Amino acid sequence: MKKKILWLVTARSGSKSIVDKNIKVLGKHPLISYRIRSANSSKFSNDIWVSTDSKEYASIAKKYGATIPFLRPEYLASDDADSVDVVLHAMDYAIKLNQEYEYIGLLEPTSPFITVDDLDGSIDLLDNNKRATGVVAVKESRPHKIFIQKQNKYLDELANNLDKVKKQGRQNFDKEITPSGGFYIAKWDFFLKKKSFYTAKTLSYEVDEISGLEIDEPLDWEFAEFILLKQNEIKK
C-alpha cells in the first residue's frame, strides 16, 4: 500500500555564506530541526528522511526524529549539485526498499518558519485538485517588477515606469508571487517522469512574510533571530 508522502529534508554541509548553517543554533535548536519538527507534527507525516553528506548532521537530525537512510554521495554534495538529482537519489533509494508514496515533498532547512498548517494545507489543496501535478510555496514578490530595470548607467526604464505609476496608482498593480523556498511537493510518479516540481499544473500555496523567510545570508539570520525573539515575547 502506498504511503501518503516522503518528506525529504536536504542538508548538505559546507555552507559558505553562514558556516554550518544547517546545524547552526537558531533560538534553542539547530536550523535543520525546525523542518523536521513541523513535518513530524503533520497529519501526513509518514516518513521524514534527511539527505546529508555529514555524519554530524545526520546524528543531529536523528535526535529530532528524522530517518537517515544513507549518507549522500560526494557528487551530490558539491556547490553545483542539482536539488532535483538529490531528490531523485532519495526516491531511487526508496524504490529499492519497495516503499511507495503518493507524493514527494522537498523541505529545505533555510525556511524554518513554515508551519505544520502550511504543510497540511498544501497537501489538502493537492488532494482536492486531481488535475494538479504538485504544489509549491510562494510569497508575494517585493519589490514589484515595475521598480526594477536592467543594470544601466541611467535609470531610464525606471523613470518611464515610475511615470506610469503616477497615472495607474499602486493599488491597481497586479499582485506578483515568487517561490518562497518553503516546500516543493509533487506527485511521486510525475516527478520521476518529468524531474521537476514545476509545470503548468503546479499549484501555488501562498505563505505570509514570516513563513516565507528564506535564510541565505547573515542578515537573513539576524532577522530570523529577531522573529523568534518577538514570538517568545508574545508567548510571555
113 & 186 share domain: yes
The C-alpha torsion from 119 through 25 and 10 to 1, rounded to 10°, is: -50
The conformation of residue 197, written as its DSSP 8-state character, comes to S
Structural domain harbouring 167: 142-175
CA–CA separation, 174 and 144 (whole Å): 9
22 & 131 share domain: yes
67 & 181 share domain: yes
34 & 121 share domain: yes
27 & 88 share domain: yes
185 & 226 share domain: yes
Q: Going residue by residue through the chain (236 aa), what tens digit of pLDDT does each one get?
A: 788 999 999 999 988 889 999 999 999 999 999 999 999 999 987 799 999 999 999 999 999 999 999 999 999 988 888 999 999 999 999 999 999 999 999 999 999 999 999 999 999 999 999 999 999 999 988 777 777 778 888 888 888 878 777 666 666 677 888 999 999 999 999 999 999 999 999 999 999 999 999 999 999 999 999 999 988 766 65
Element containing residue 185 per DSSP (H, E): strand 177-187
153 & 129 share domain: no
78 & 157 share domain: no
Domain count for the chain, please give it: 2
121 & 24 share domain: yes
Helix 31-41 and helix 55-63: axis angle, to 10°? Answer: 40
72 & 159 share domain: no
63 & 99 share domain: yes
DSSP track, 55-87: HHHHHHHHHTT-B---PPPGGGSSTT--HHHHH
